[in-house]
Each structure stands twice: as C-alpha cells, then as structure tokens.
Structure 1
Amino acid sequence: MGIRNYLVEGVSCTGKTSVCKELRRRGYHAINGDTELAYQGDPETGRPTDSLAHENHIWQVDKVRALIADQDEAVTFFCGGSRNFSHFIDLFDGVFVLGVDLDTLNQRLDQRPEDEWGSKPVERELVVRLHRTKEDLPKNGILIDATAPLAHVVDEIVRRTEANK
C-alpha cells in the first residue's frame, strides 16, 4: 500500500491500536493488523487452527505481501501483533516496537475490558512474561517509549519515518 511501509509492534497494551487510530486521524494510511489481517493459525505453515492460543495469532502473509506491493500511498503503517512476523518483516522499511515499563503495563491491563485479550488472569500472566522476556518481538526494531502521551509517541514514529526518506 505504501511506497514506504512500517511495522508497529509491541506486547499487548503498549498502544498499537491507539497509534493506528491516531495515524489515521492525522491522515496517514494505517492498517490495524489485529482486525484486518489476523486470524488463528499455525505460525510456521499458516494453516488455520481452532486454537485461540497467543502463538496462533498470525497475519495473512500473502495479504501483507500484496498490500506492500501496491504502492498507492506514500507511506503505510501496519500496526498490531503477529506471531509470524518473521515471514514478512524483511519487506518493511522499518520496524517500531512500542515499549512501556511494568507499572504502566499493569495499569493498562487493569483498564482492559473483560472481553478483550489480556483481561483474564492467565492471559495477563502471559503478557507480563512476554514484556519481561521480549521473546516474541522483533529484535532489531526501533524502541519507542509508549509511556509518553499518544501524540508524542506518534510524533516520534512519524519523525523517524521522515528521516528515512
């Protein structure tokens, strides 16, 4: 979708959806991967699965590739978490990883509606572990301090994409 394409990743409650909404509000082309690209599947094969496990939350690789190949926009942001990002991360011009401290993460998890992922105790334990270990995040992403106000977080992302022109 974009001549330049960026991935915005992070553990649950770091602000990926909020960043996506704010980018859209500012007129940028932004895709919410959790609602527009995600499904439950095997992260290696892509085959759909009935498992609702965190590791099965993946994106449609062919769709990601097709969106990146279509260069109708100057820049496109792909926001959300995907456990199969290794299958398409090399297509992005840059990767941003939203990060927060543990206290902020816990405050945000406390505010999660009961029907959203991360609100149940077992899910919360996983989010906290993933925050600590960073085991399912891109390793070479640019860390963005997502404890800052949303406008500042998005300003920083946009500033860094402008520097890559």
Structure 2
Amino acid sequence: MRRILLTGMSATGKSTLTAAIAARGYRAVDLDTDAWSYWVDIVEDNAPGTPVEAGRDWVWRDDRVTDLLADDGDGILVISGCSPNQGQFYPRLDAVVLLSAPECVVAERLAARTSNDYGKGEGEAEAERVLQLIREVEPILRAGATHEIDTGGPLDDVLDAVLRIVTPRP
C-alpha cells in the first residue's frame, strides 16, 4: 500500500483536499478529528509551535494511526493532519506533502470558515496564534517533507498537484 500524508498548518487546505481525494475514489482519512486525535494537557515549555492552545495540545491517537498505517494491502491511503507526534509515523509513509499558503490567504480562509471554528475564537487572538504557528512550525514540517505544494491557487490546480504525488507516473 502506498501511504501519503498531507500536512500543514490550519487553513492550508488539508480537509478540503482530503475530501476531494476521497470523492475521486481514493481511501482518504482526515486525522484532525476526534476519532483520530485528542487533546492532551501539557506544561508549556516554550518550544516552537507548542502548544496549540494554552496548556493543551492536539495529538494523534498513536494506537489508531498505527493500526491505520499497518494495512499492507494494495492501493493508496492518503491521510491528512498536523500533530506534534506525526514524525514518529514518517518511516511508514511513502510521501509527506507539506501544504502551505501565504499568511494573507490563511487569514482570509480562517475568517471565511463555516465548517470549523478553529482560528475564529478569542477575538483575533486565535487567528494570530495560527499565524504564529505558521512561522514557528511550518519550517519544522518543511524539514520533514518530501514535497511542498502552495495551496494559495485554485483548488483544481492544487488537487492535480497532489494527485501527481499520490499516483506518480513511472
């Protein structure tokens, strides 16, 4: 099985692309949901990108993600999400695709969201935290990525770029 991770900061298009990939018949799983992730209480250590919220962080459920990636059958599995523990799964992946977008695009998307309230809370403080995380975490994600796609353009163009990675031509 070919396994691909779409990762990136909030509002870079992970969930939108995962749904579009699933609509094309691929097995695609958004890990940024309660079924695959959970909040953990943490002590802030001022490490870059931690935590997502004061005193807590959003992490993937190790057991469930391990089981998901254990399938050795034929086909393609696309997973998406961003978590401080995602690096432990990189050895099981064929590609890690960083989805990025200019900060102005991310800010516009956060303001326009209708299916996810993250980035809209606490006045502008939560949106500012997202932008801070882009500056702190995106370089870390970039270092572990095998590909990077700017998602600031039209969805169809971005989807085509992702699908070229998901199903590479010989």
SS of 1:56's partner is strand
Aligned-partner residue type, residue 133 of structure 2: L
Which residue in 2 is equivalent to 1:38?
Answer: 37
Counterpart-to-counterpart distance in 1, 2:19 and 2:113: 17
Cα RMSD after superposing both structures? 2.4
> Aligned in 2, Cα 1:115/1:78: closer, same or farther, shift over 3 Å?
closer
Runs of 4+ in 1 over 4 A off after TM superposition: none
Deviates more, 1:68-77 or 1:108-117: 108-117
Check conservation: 2:26, 2:77, Cα contact below 8 A: yes
> Aligned in 2, Cα 1:118/1:164: closer, same or farther, shift over 3 Å?
farther
Counterpart-to-counterpart distance in 1, 2:15 and 2:2: 20
Q: Which of the residues 127, 146, 152 maps onto 1:124?
A: 127
Give the TM-score of the pair, scaled to structure 1. Answer: 0.83
Check conservation: 1:11, 1:137, Cα contact below 8 A: no
Runs of 5+ consecutive residues of structure 2 not aligned to the other structure:
43-50
Deviates more, 1:76-85 or 1:132-141: 132-141
Which residue in 2 is equivalent to 1:83?
Answer: 84
Q: Which of the residues 146, 150, 161 maps onto 1:145?
A: 150
> Aligned in 2, Cα 1:136/1:123: closer, same or farther, shift over 3 Å?
farther
Which residue in 2 is equivalent to 1:108?
Answer: 109
Alignment of 1:97 onto 2:95: no
> Aligned in 2, Cα 1:109/1:52: closer, same or farther, shift over 3 Å?
closer
Displacement, 1:130?
Answer: 1.5
Counterpart-to-counterpart distance in 2, 1:21 and 1:6: 14
Displacement, 1:90?
Answer: 1.9
Counterpart-to-counterpart distance in 2, 1:115 and 1:154: 21
Counterpart-to-counterpart distance in 2, 1:6 and 1:147: 21
Deviates more, 1:136-145 or 1:26-35: 136-145
Displacement, 1:89?
Answer: 2.0
Aligned residues: 156
Which residue in 1 is equivalent to 2:165?
Answer: 160
Counterpart-to-counterpart distance in 2, 1:126 and 1:101: 15
Check conservation: 2:142, 2:148, Cα contact below 8 A: no
> Aligned in 2, Cα 1:148/1:65: closer, same or farther, shift over 3 Å?
same
**What percent identity do the matched residue pairs reach?**
29
Which residue in 1 is equivalent to 2:10?
Answer: 12
Give the TM-score of the pair, scaled to structure 2. Answer: 0.81
